[in-house]
Amino acid sequence: MAILISNLGNSDFQPYGIRQSEDERIDNQIIYQEMKRGYDWGKLNFPILKSVEQLLKSRNETLNALVLFYTKQKDEHFSKSDTYIIFKIIQLYNERNQLFDSYKPIVIGMQICDLPHSYDSMYTYYQKVIKGLPGQLAQHGLVSDEPVYVSLAGGTPACNVGLLHAMHQSTDFRSTKTFIYSPRPAKGELQPPAVPVRIDTYLTANELVKNLDELLTGYHYGQVKDLISKLNLPIHEFLKDILTFLDVLLLRRNTRYAEALTKLKTIGHSELKNTAFFQECLGQINKLDKGIQAHDDRQFGWTSCSEFRQVLHEHYWKLVTLYQLEEYNEWAIGMMTFYENLLRIKATHLLGFDRKQPSLTPEEEKVQFHKKLCDLNNRSFNGKREYPIKRGEYQRIISDSAPKSMLCKRHSWVRKLEKIYKQRNNVVHQFGGLTKSDIENVFGESDNWKKLLRQALNREFQIQINENPLDLIHKQLLEWIHKRLVA
């Protein structure tokens, strides 16, 4: 047994087998009055209901109930277009066992009193009515877990949009509803059966992908995993690999490139591995891992190799994301940490310690670099590396060796960075935080800090900032998930 929910339109009733003009619709009142007096009009034509019946027969189902929305407007100017009389004819025809061949469903009417052409009004109306529909069904001994067919063929466009959204958003009919449409037959042909339409699938997929997009934009990979895991999505064969891929992105976010590569190689589904975004991610993480290895192993020319530059490029976009997420305290910490790393890299290059000496291990070279720093800063050296090395020591070396460098302490953007970082330190010790206006008061307009940082990376390290490499991966991952949701 099934339930049909449908809007009634004037095309739902064709007493003469053809669509009625507006002038002819007055006949519906006459037909109804004559039927009430007992006159037998014979086999009346209800094409949309007929098409639904054909679909249900093919599925070995019958209708237990009809929930029909009809118009009976207060303004008599619009009364000719109302479908109230059609509803009464259907109701009476059903009582006489003439609507369907072998059964008589319950007929429930829902009245629309005003503005059936207003999208705003109908959206509000259907949200309210559908929310209370399970209670009304229960009054007739019906339950909402029966198969529910939602026809989008009759009524005004505004009514169908309202019904569509209300039923789509309803949790009471989530697993039981099927949206259907009744095609209009060609001239001289019989009414074809109603057909299922996948509007609900597309709406669900689109809404889910939109939510995932917002989470991915903020690098909330853990929340994406939770959302995908909790929903019963039709992607079971890919689920494990999608969750693993999200773990890979999280490891990448936390600069754990070697672990990300290892986990990426555990993905076994060939379809996922053959996607462009998988191969792109694999190539990027490989390059980032080589950049970190070049840094850690003090490989020859590591400060200027393309792989290590990619690491700096990645960190620039991490700062942009923190700013976009309005995490201004974390942004200030990240900015200062990044600047101090740039100082160390620049000093390493200026002192020639990025040209590996074969006789020294990476650790021995780091010790020699520290000794050189102590000598240049007139500080005693105790024979081993010590941390932390003060920011001012690097700045002094760069100011002496490259006085026009954008990393020098006297450069205006460095002074701005140190000012906002000091401000951040002051407010956090009072359990406070930076605001966007605090940063703009120091750096100028909101994007000015990005412009200055890009200039520094370009001038000091010949790094040209391109688009965020993760944007395309996120976009293609979502497209791939969406395609499988609606397949």
Please determine, for residue 39, whether its predicted confidence score (pLDDT) is greater than 80: no
The answer, yes or no, to whether residue 32 has pLDDT greater than 80, is: yes
User: Using an 8 Å Cβ cutoff, are 455 and 255 in contact?
Assistant: no
Q: At residue 385, does pLDDT exceed 60?
A: no
Does 269 have pLDDT greater than 80? Answer: no
Per-residue pLDDT for 417 more than 90? yes
Apex CA 315: angle with CA 253 and CA 252, to 5°?
Answer: 20
Q: What is the DSSP letter of 80?
A: G
Whole-number Cα distances in Å, 76 to 13, 247, 403: 21, 63, 86
Please check the confidence at residue 432 and state whether its pLDDT lies above 90: no
User: Quick check: 479 pLDDT over 70?
Assistant: yes
For the ranges 160-174, 299-313, 382-396, 456-470, the lowest mean pLDDT is seen at 382-396
Are 302 and 312 in contact by the 8 Å Cβ rule? The answer is no
Q: What is the pLDDT of residue 150?
A: 94
Task: Judge residue 220's burial from the number of C-beta atoms within 10 Å of its C-beta, 0-12 exposed, 13-18 middle, 19 or more buried.
Answer: middle
Structure token pair of residue 20: 């009625």
- What's the per-residue H, E or C state across 51-75? HHHHHHHHCCCCEEEEEEEEECCCC
pLDDT band per the 50, 70, 90 thresholds, residue 382: low
Domains of the chain, CATH where assigned: 2-197 (3.40.50.10770), 209-473 (no CATH)
Which has the higher per-residue pLDDT, 302 or 126?
Answer: 126
pLDDT given at position 396: 86
pLDDT tens-digit readout, 179-228: 998 888 777 778 889 998 877 667 677 778 888 898 898 889 998 988 88
Report the distance separating Cα 443 and Cα 460, nearest Å: 20
pLDDT digits (tens, 9 = 90+) for 129-173: 999 999 999 998 888 778 999 998 888 889 998 998 899 888 888
Per the model's pLDDT, the better-predicted residue between 42 and 126 turns out to be 126
Q: What amino acid is encoded at 356 in this protein?
A: K
Integer Cα distance of 143 and 136 in angstroms:
10
421 or 26, greater pLDDT: 421
Is pLDDT of 26 > 60? no
Find where tokens 């939602």 sit: 150
Sheet holding 106-112, edge to edge: 106-112, 63-71, 2-7, 148-151, 177-181, 195-196
The secondary element (H helix, E strand) that includes residue 299 is none
Q: Which residues of 10-31 are buried (b: 16+ CB within 10 A; e: fewer)?
A: bbbbbbeeeebeeeebeebeeb
pLDDT for the residue numbered 295: 84
Average pLDDT on 320-336 reads 93
Tell me what pLDDT residue 206 has: 78
pLDDT on residue 277: 94
| CA pair distance 341, 302, nearest whole angstrom | 14
pLDDT at position 359: 63
Does the pLDDT value for residue 321 go beyond 80?
Answer: yes
Whether 17 has a pLDDT exceeding 80, the answer reads no
pTM for the model stands at 0.65
Question: What average pLDDT does range 285-314 have in this prediction?
Answer: 89
Q: DSSP per residue over 388-440, as a string?
A: PPPHHHHHHHHHHH-TT-TTSTTSHHHHHHHHHHHHHHHHHTTT----HHHHH
Torsion of CA 460, 466, 471, 472, to 10 degrees: -130
Q: What pLDDT, on the 0 to 100 scale, is given for residue 233? A: 67
Q: What angle do CA 286, 290, 292 make, to 5 degrees?
A: 120
Lookup result for tokens 């792989």: 307
Average pLDDT, the chain: 85
pLDDT on residue 25: 55
Give 45's pLDDT tier (boundaries 50, 70, 90): confident
pLDDT in tens, 84-121: 989 999 998 888 888 887 789 999 999 998 888 888 89
Q: Which residue has the higher pLDDT, 309 or 191?
A: 309
